[in-house]
Amino acid sequence: MLNRPDTVSPGTRERVLSAISALGFVRNESARHLRAGRSRTIGLVVLDIANPFFTDVARGVEEVANAQGLSVILCNSDGRPEKEAAHLDVLTEQRVRGVVLTPTAELSPQIETLRQRGVPVVLLDRRAPGPDQCAVAVDDVLGGRLAADHLLERGHRRIAFIGGPGGLPQLQERYRGVVAAVREGTGSDDALTVITPDTLTVAGGREAASHVLGLPAGLRPTAAVCANDLLAMGVLQEMVRQGVRVPDDVAIVGYDDIDYAAAAAVPLTSVRKPRQELGRRAAELLLDEAAAEGHQHDQPVFEPMLVVRESSMVRRPRPTVAS
Amino acid sequence: MLNRPDTVSPGTRERVLSAISALGFVRNESARHLRAGRSRTIGLVVLDIANPFFTDVARGVEEVANAQGLSVILCNSDGRPEKEAAHLDVLTEQRVRGVVLTPTAELSPQIETLRQRGVPVVLLDRRAPGPDQCAVAVDDVLGGRLAADHLLERGHRRIAFIGGPGGLPQLQERYRGVVAAVREGTGSDDALTVITPDTLTVAGGREAASHVLGLPAGLRPTAAVCANDLLAMGVLQEMVRQGVRVPDDVAIVGYDDIDYAAAAAVPLTSVRKPRQELGRRAAELLLDEAAAEGHQHDQPVFEPMLVVRESSMVRRPRPTVAS
DNA sequence: AGCACCTTGTGAATCGTTTCAGCGAGGAGG
DNA sequence: CCTCCTCGCTGAAACGATTCACAAGGTGCT
């Protein structure tokens, strides 16, 4: 009756419906799930709920899920594998229909376990380790390259990469892109300074900026590529605070193009990723895989796009030594 | 066995445990819930997941819930009653143990329905409508007063309140506090300009700033109290962008004291609320009420605190007309 | 030896929904 | 008038974990 109201006569339907509203009856989702064998919930585990990039992703996921009558359990791993693992355990107990996950540095064994139980897991903002699962990623090597090329074109010959070479694979890719562009543009790696902040946050960016400004004048980079926008905002704020002009003294390029980037005191040049679209696509793949009828794994890789704003707008004179 | 392992002999326990890990058995939370009659989940509905204030609140709620082995379903109403209602419906079907809610402007009927079903609802950042429920709030009249008094003390005699008098009750309270302080400080309401942006976001703040800067020089406020920090950041950014010096030309005070406030290009003076503590306290009250053994409703009201930073640091000369 | 009692382990009932078999009534066709 | 079919509704089984009553086996006491 509740699921196929048309199989019942109008009179009965009417009576049932009025009884339902009179008694305030509400379906019990657990009983429903238990009997139906599959739940109406999906899990979403993000690296940092305080990062607007992930709240945008979450919006995309939620949009697709809600359109199909599914709800989303949003979990925050804070980049810590043990929190991720704990959340995945809970999601397993809840028998969620699937999980969209932005994994921490290593892929935890829980992921494989989930998949063996038949629960689809879609990786987000991360390349898949193999062809037998879905993943939604961004070409971060290209992204790093776009950022570095832009700065090289503007005449910068000393560039900092803020984000460190290690850690999350997506950061490694951005780093690789920057390195490749710098090498091709200048013929050597000498132009690049790598700085690894403690965290990928505004605070981390401020710390990194202090570090950059502490370098001797002759070695100090004239531009910084940041591994995400939070870092870039931190760098920007610390620069401004210390009286360093942006972009005149130091140009800054961020990554993700979160909304705050355009709204920063000096609007940030940033590498744009399709934030909501990433979430939507991941959710779509997840639901398709969960439907299980001849699902083809897909691993779309979105192309990032450089959005140029004030923070990198000044053209440097060609360095005298080089010309 | 699973719930009271000590009632079973060590040998059997060992065998069961090894079988569990061999088969990869994981409890089915739905079946558990169905039989136990109460779920191990609570709901949290926030006004704006993109506002770091609410992600901090969420952290507090999650901390307390996780400590008791409960998980949290985080929902975003985007300030829209229909989204709030839809989320509350889903949470009802899930038979959550309770709901922490930052309500939209009006208290939706779903809340009362939930409470009649015996599901505790704790309001967060909002006064309770009556004594028969828990609510965790902040004294926003005091908060508004603190902000306005601070500016009055510094010699400001034309102050803008950015956030509008209507809408969310907590904003109305902040407004009332500002009005009271200005009236007491100057003897009239003339010193106050009220501006109502479309949204309580960075974009809304930029829009409001343009509006302020469009006022004729003689009427233009020398200081702005913003109803939240996102607005304040937007105001700040637009001011800086248009070459208005902060705090020299216009002082700015925000509200909430989110982390970004201290890290803004000009660090923001802001009215601090205990963000995580609000979440923690709400969750504690919720769980106490859900435990149901002689629960006493409580409606703690936290005192906000003014945190003075650069954005309001300049002392104005006494206006010549007044002296 | 017989009885009571304690320890462990087993089986059945239960939660609320869905699903499906099956039943009765009524209508159409022979 | 009987048979067969369809429509609409009813009743029972099942999902998986929990809980409780009860059975089986062992221990200790009289």
Q: What is the pLDDT of residues B17-30, one digit of tens each?
A: 888 888 889 999 99
Contact A54/A47 with Cβ under 8 angstroms?
A: yes
Q: What is the pLDDT of residues A148-180, one digit of tens each?
A: 999 999 999 999 999 976 789 999 999 999 999
Nearest-CB residue to B94 (from A29, A34, A56): A29
Q: With beta carbons under 8 A apart, name residues in chain A contacting B29.
A: 30, 93-95
| pLDDT, chain A, mean | 92
Secondary structure of residue A38 in the 3-state scheme: coil
Q: With beta carbons under 8 A apart, name residues in chain A contacting B256.
A: none
Pairing mode, if any, of strands B99-101 and B121-124?
Answer: parallel
Find where tokens 């892929």 sit.
Answer: A107
Do A237 and B264 make contact, defined as CB atoms within 8 angstroms? yes
Per-residue pLDDT band at A323 (split at 50, 70, 90): very low
**CA distance linking residue B13 with residue A320, whole number of Å:** 78
How close does chain B come to A29, measured CA to CA in Å? 5
For residue A140, what are its two tokens? Answer: 């971060």
A4 touches strand D (CB under 7 A): no
Nearest-CB residue to A263 (from B29, B50, B202): B202
- Which chain A residues 28-47 have CB under 7 A to strand D? 31, 34-35, 37
Q: In chain B, which residue's Cα lies nearest the Cα of A205?
A: B263
**CA distance linking residue B49 with residue B78, whole number of Å:** 7
Give pLDDT, residue B241.
83
Give pLDDT, residue B322.
44
Q: For A256, which DSSP code?
A: E
Q: What is the pLDDT of residues A220-278, one digit of tens each?
A: 999 999 999 999 999 998 998 898 999 999 999 999 999 888 878 788 999 999 999 99
Closest CA to A52 of A275, A263, A311, A264: A275
The whole-number average pLDDT for the span B251-265 is 90
Give pLDDT, residue A322.
44
φ, ψ at B41 (rounded to 5°): -135, 145
**CA distance linking residue B147 with residue A173, whole number of Å:** 46
- The integer distance in angstroms from the CA atom of A169 to the C1' atom of D16 is 40
Find where tokens 């910068």 sit.
Answer: A156
For residue A228, what are its two tokens? Answer: 């995400």
How close does chain A come to B297, measured CA to CA in Å? 25
Pairing mode, if any, of strands B41-46 and B99-101?
Answer: parallel
Which nucleotide's C1' sits nearest to the alpha carbon of A32? C17
Whether A237 and chain B come into contact, CB under 8 Å, resolves to: yes
**CA distance linking residue B139 with residue A28, whole number of Å:** 39
Q: With beta carbons under 8 A apart, name residues in chain B contacting A30.
A: 29-31, 33-34, 39, 94-95
Listed by start position, the domains of chain A span 20-138+275-303, 140-272+307-312
Superfamily (CATH) of domain A140-272+307-312: Response regulator (3.40.50.2300)
Region of residue B271 (phi > 0: left; psi between -120 and 50: alpha; otherwise: beta): beta
Burial of B23 (0-12, 13-18, 19+ CB in 10 A): exposed
Alpha helix (H) residue ranges in chain B = 10-23, 29-36, 52-67, 81-93, 109-116, 140-153, 169-186, 202-213, 229-241, 259-262, 275-291
Would you say how long chain B is, in residues? 323
Do A263 and B50 make contact, defined as CB atoms within 8 angstroms? no
Secondary structure of residue B151 in the 3-state scheme: helix
Comparing A141 with B316, which gets the higher pLDDT?
A: A141
The whole-number average pLDDT for the span B104-133 is 94
Pairing mode, if any, of strands A159-162 and A192-195?
Answer: parallel
Pairing mode, if any, of strands B223-226 and B159-162?
Answer: parallel
Give pLDDT, residue A316.
76
Going by C-beta distance under 8 Å and a sequence separation of 6 or more, which residues neighbour residue B128? B134, B135, B137, B299
* B75, β-bridge pairs: B45
Per-residue pLDDT band at A318 (split at 50, 70, 90): low
**CA distance linking residue B318 with residue A13, whole number of Å:** 75
φ, ψ at A306 (rounded to 5°): -80, 130
**CA distance linking residue A273 with residue A140, whole number of Å:** 10
Q: With beta carbons under 8 A apart, name residues in chain B contacting A259.
A: 50, 202-203
Whether A233 and chain B come into contact, CB under 8 Å, resolves to: yes
Whether B256 and chain A come into contact, CB under 8 Å, resolves to: no
For residue B115, what are its two tokens? Answer: 């409470």
Percentage helix, strand, coil for chain B under 3-state DSSP, each rounded to 5: 45, 15, 40
pLDDT exceeds cutoff 80 at A187: yes
How close does chain B come to A65, measured CA to CA in Å? 13
Superfamily (CATH) of domain B25-138+275-302: Response regulator (3.40.50.2300)
For residue A210, what are its two tokens? Answer: 């202090």
The whole-number average pLDDT for the span A14-26 is 87
**CA distance linking residue B223 with residue B219, whole number of Å:** 12
**CA distance linking residue A284 with residue A70, whole number of Å:** 12
Q: What angle do CA B198, B156, B125 make, to 5 degrees?
A: 45
**CA distance linking residue A267 with residue A261, whole number of Å:** 6
CATH number of B140-273+307-312: 3.40.50.2300
Which of the four CATH numbers 3.30.565.10, 3.40.190.10, 3.10.450.50, 3.40.50.2300 does domain A20-138+275-303 have? Answer: 3.40.50.2300
Per-residue pLDDT band at A199 (split at 50, 70, 90): very high
Closest CA to B299 of B79, B115, B106, B132: B132
The whole-number average pLDDT for the span B229-246 is 92
Give pLDDT, residue A9.
75
Indicate if A140-272+307-312 has the same CATH topology as A20-138+275-303: yes
Give pLDDT, residue A319.
54
φ, ψ at A241 (rounded to 5°): -60, -35
Q: What is the pLDDT of residues A55-73, one digit of tens each?
A: 999 999 999 999 999 999 9
Per-residue pLDDT band at A298 (split at 50, 70, 90): very high
- Strand D, nucleotides covered by protein (CB < 7 Å): 7-9, 14-19
Q: With beta carbons under 8 A apart, name residues in chain B contacting A24.
A: 113, 116-117
> CB B184: neighbour CB atoms within 10 A?
12
Per-residue pLDDT band at A308 (split at 50, 70, 90): very high
B67 touches strand D (CB under 7 A): no
- Residue percentage of chain B with pLDDT more than 70: 98
Would you say how long chain A is, in residues? 323
Do B28 and A34 make contact, defined as CB atoms within 8 angstroms? yes
Q: With beta carbons under 8 A apart, name residues in chain B contacting A73.
A: 71, 73-74
> Residue B129, preceding bond cis, omega within 30 degrees?
no
Whether B74 and chain A come into contact, CB under 8 Å, resolves to: yes
pLDDT exceeds cutoff 60 at B321: no
Do A95 and B202 make contact, defined as CB atoms within 8 angstroms? no
Do A49 and B55 make contact, defined as CB atoms within 8 angstroms? yes
pLDDT exceeds cutoff 90 at B52: yes
The whole-number average pLDDT for the span B36-62 is 95
The helix (run of H) or strand (run of E) holding residue B192 is strand B192-195
Which nucleotide's C1' sits nearest to the alpha carbon of B34? C15
Per-residue pLDDT band at B318 (split at 50, 70, 90): low
Cα distances (Å, whole numbers) of residue B174 to A107, B181, B250:
47, 11, 20
Secondary structure of residue B72 in the 3-state scheme: strand
Least confident of B142-146, B163-167, B260-264, B294-298: B163-167
Whether B202 and chain A come into contact, CB under 8 Å, resolves to: yes
Cα distances (Å, whole numbers) of residue A165 to A150, A171, A173, A193:
20, 7, 9, 11
- The integer distance in angstroms from the CA atom of B8 to the C1' atom of D22 is 17
- The integer distance in angstroms from the CA atom of A64 to the C1' atom of D24 is 57
Which nucleotide's C1' sits nearest to the alpha carbon of B6? C8
Q: What is the pLDDT of residues A114-130, one digit of tens each?
A: 999 999 999 999 999 99
For the sheet with B135-138, list strands across it: B71-76, B41-46, B99-101, B121-124, B135-138, B301-302
Do B116 and A24 make contact, defined as CB atoms within 8 angstroms? yes
**CA distance linking residue B233 with residue B130, whole number of Å:** 35
Do B27 and A93 make contact, defined as CB atoms within 8 angstroms? yes
Nearest-CB residue to B265 (from A26, A39, A237): A237
Contact B226/B235 with Cβ under 8 angstroms?
A: yes
Q: What is the pLDDT of residues B176-207, one digit of tens each?
A: 999 999 999 999 888 999 999 999 999 999 99
* A138, β-bridge pairs: A302
pLDDT exceeds cutoff 90 at B167: no
